[in-house]
Chains A and B, each alone.
Chain A
Amino acid sequence: MKKFISLLMLIASAHALHGQFLTLTESDESGKKRTLTEQRQTIDINSKISIDIDRNKITDAFSQQLAHNGSAAIDTLLKTLNLYKTYLEKLSQEIQNYQDLYNEGLASVDVARLDQALKARAAAGLDIAELFSNNERFNQRWEEELTRFSGGTTNDQYRIILRLLSEEIELLQGDLQTKLKEAGVYFQLAAWFTGNGNTTPVHLDGFDDLPPGEYYHFERNKLYLTQAQLDEFKGLQSFFEGMDRSQFFDKIIDAIPGMLNNVINEDSIQAQLNRLISSITNLTTTAQAEKTKVLEQAKQIADGFKLLTLDIKNDIAKYSSGTGTSNASSKMELLQNFMTDVNQVKSQIQTLQDEMKTLVSGIDFQTLGAGVNSIKTDFNSLQSLLKRQATDLVERATEGIQIAIYGRKINTAALEISNQVLKLQLDNIPANSVLDVNYVGKREPGDLLVLKAMLWKGDEKNPIAVETREFVVMNALPHLEMGILYAFAKPVTSNSNFKGGPLVSLLYKFKSHSMPYRNFLDFGIGIHAASFDFNNDDTPEFAGGIVASFLKDYVQFGWGFNFNSNRGYNFVGIRIPIPTSPISLAKLP
């Protein structure tokens, strides 16, 4: 029965032959489990990922690929398997329908309904009997099962047919596995960790011979002030230096000029334009008016392109010299300005493409005579090139911004597979494994874990199917953090001014798997201790109370009580001097 149920589940998944191979579940330190369904997701920095591998989907993916590439034997096997599965599904359904009727009470059922149910079930059974009418093994097994049958309902007899069909399906799947083995297919599952500026392979039980990594448990609760915090408070560092913990912003900003320079291949486009104009100029034709029109339009496009390259050069100069950065009041605003510039470039490219399209569709190429086909082809390929480069530019820019906001993003296609990652034949693939993040070594929030499942055939250089999953580690669970800032307190029962003084807070941070939230908002509530001088006698007074924070603790406020001067107070604290420009909240591009 279990075998039968698992085969029914196989049927349910039969149509999703190109779906995911991996089912991933995160178990965090609090014991909560979470299914990871997206290609890129955050996980807690101390969690474990259970990996379940769907071998049926892997087999299906291989089979489909090989059948598609001309393996007739596999194609036939697949078609037969699908036919068997269809029959299995049909008979199962009719058995259930009859069972529903039986449960109602056959005596009370209308004879027409009963006839219909009997007919449908019998037809499904007869189809299978007909299919295997010349199959000695099937019929022998059927006779054996019927001999052993010691009484039961008619549905029990039809279930015998289901079991036998399931056996045939298993046999066929065995044949399929053999064929796939002969075709030299194999499976690999590999993991990498990117942190501390390095990318290193990570051990997965059952899938490689790599040694287990170093155990490192990230200390989630920071119940101490770091040297950096103390230095920051002492120096009252500027808003930018204090906020930027990830350092990705600087890297991305540095990369902007290079991005603009490299993605748009000006020389190539200019060369193609020059070649086009030259071909048109040298074209021998009697349709001089048409030729002149084409030449003028082509020169217009060339001029448009010159303007575009000038704009790009200006943008490069702007971001290289720092003008682009200094005009922004925050790094988010800078990134927004950059995306605006990128979209402007894209729009200009789009305009050039449209002009080219108009030119090509507006020309009467017939009248221009021989030699014009190559010109038409050149226009079309130039259009494609422009479109491709515009898409590339926007994609790279967006990617760069995502790195700044979400953390690292690495080129997963370029990850090298260690030769210690096992090449597994289909029947040797383990059903599951575990990736324990505590064993990837020292790590910080924002570091990246990559998991890649690959299906290979023989010695081919590229896998025939890949599933890549990326996980950004973060301090997702609730935790405590200690902070220090300069606070301004106003005694509640006095008209005196705000009194300044250092304030240390112990904040409870809420659970979140959102990187933008953790990087930019990160609300907290807790208690504080402070030192004020309400009575202006130059003697620090001890105070304490409650506190709430937001904007990643850059702004804190609350209420407290000054035990020395016996007065309550409200306060607000900031980690920066009063800014002359507004603080920019997170705003994603």
Chain B
Amino acid sequence: MPTKLITLPTGNPAQAQALLTQTLQENKVLLIVIGSTNIAVNTADRAARFAGAPDEARWVVRAPVIEDVITILKTIKDPTPLVLDWDDTLLIAVSITDVIRDMIDQDGTLPTLVRLQTAWMKAENNQ
């Protein structure tokens, strides 16, 4: 099955912002992974395995350089709030109505598959 992982371009913030904005505007359930560490890259790849069929709503976005897209990220609704410090954030789960519903922070460990699955479910639950 083709991968449902979008890696935002580096070295071109405008392009990265445009792509992220466009993706957010589409009716998608997103896991947005932040960073370019091994953990971030592996997390994005593992999350993408559970994105389902090509025509389903789940997609994974990896933002290698947070500074390029932080302004866009901060516009995503976070009513709880779950994100307290973007620099400590590894992954956010965004619902189909563009609300942050789960967050995994960077603790130096690779999130388990069960944890990723839970993030997907919370994003879909949209509550």
Chain A residues near B (Cβ < 8 Å): 102, 105-107, 111, 114-115, 118-119, 121-123, 125-126, 129, 139, 142-143, 146-147, 149, 151-154, 157
Contact = CB atoms under 8 A, between A and B. Distances in A.
Contacts of A157: 50, 52, 117, 120
15 contacts: A102-B56, A106-B56, A115-B95, A115-B97, A118-B126, A119-B127, A121-B124, A122-B122, A129-B118, A129-B121, A146-B113, A146-B114, A153-B53, A157-B52, A157-B120
Contact-residue bracket for chain B: 20 to 34
B79 to A, nearest CB: 16
Given A122-B123, A146-B117, 5 more contacts: A115-B126, A122-B122, A123-B127, A129-B121, A149-B50
A125 B1 CA distance: 24
Contacts of A126: 118, 121-122, 125
B50 to A, nearest CB: 6
B58 interface: yes
A122 B121 contact: yes
Contacts of B56: 102, 106, 153-154
Contacts of A107: 55
Interface string B28-57: 010000000000000000000110110111
B98 to A, nearest CB: 11
A153 B114 contact: no
Contacts of A146: 50, 113-114, 117
Contacts, number: 74
Contact of A111 (B50, B96, B123, B124): B96
A143 B114 contact: yes
Nearest to A107: B55
A3 to B, nearest CB: 22
A119 B126 contact: yes
Interface SS majority for chain A = helix
A125 B95 CA distance: 16
B50 A119 contact: no
Given A115-B96, A119-B127, A154-B52, A106 B122 contact: no
A123 B123 CA distance: 10
A151 B49 contact: yes
Kindly list the 10 A-B residue pairs having the minimum CB-CB distance in the complex, ordered from nearest: A122-B124, A146-B113, A154-B52, A122-B125, A118-B124, A122-B121, A151-B1, A153-B53, A111-B27, A125-B121
A213 B80 CA distance: 77
Interface string B58-72: 100000000000000
B112 interface: yes
Interface of B: 1, 27, 29, 49-50, 52-53, 55-58, 95-97, 112-114, 117-118, 120-127
A147 B114 CA distance: 9
Contacts of A114: 27, 57, 96
B113 A147 contact: yes
B112 A143 contact: yes
A143 B52 CA distance: 17
A401 B96 CA distance: 73
A107 B27 CA distance: 10
Contacts of B121: 122, 125-126, 129
Contacts of B127: 119, 123
A219 B108 CA distance: 86
Contacts of B29: 118
B121 to A, nearest CB: 4
A139 B27 CA distance: 31
Nearest to B113: A146
Nearest to A157: B50
Contacts of B120: 122, 154, 157
Contacts of A106: 55-57
Contacts of B1: 151-152
B52 to A, nearest CB: 4
A47 to B, nearest CB: 53
Contacts of B58: 154
A559 B49 CA distance: 86
A126 B112 CA distance: 16
A105 B53 CA distance: 12
A154 B120 CA distance: 10
B125 A119 contact: yes
Nearest to A161: B117
Contacts of B97: 115
A551 B27 CA distance: 79
Contacts of A151: 1, 49
A118 B117 CA distance: 14
Contacts of A105: 55
B2 to A, nearest CB: 10
Nearest to A160: B117
Nearest to A116: B126
A107 B28 CA distance: 11
A143 B118 CA distance: 12
Contact of B57 (A118, A125, A149): A118
A142 B126 contact: no
A143 B114 CA distance: 6
Contacts of B118: 126, 129
B124 to A, nearest CB: 4
Contacts of A139: 114
Contacts of B27: 111, 114
B47 to A, nearest CB: 11
Contacts of B123: 122
A552 B124 CA distance: 74
Contacts of A129: 118, 121
Residue in A118, A151, A157 whose Cβ sees the most chain B Cβ within 10 Å: A118
Nearest to B115: A143
A159 to B, nearest CB: 12
A130 to B, nearest CB: 10
Given A106-B57, A111-B96, A153 B52 contact: yes
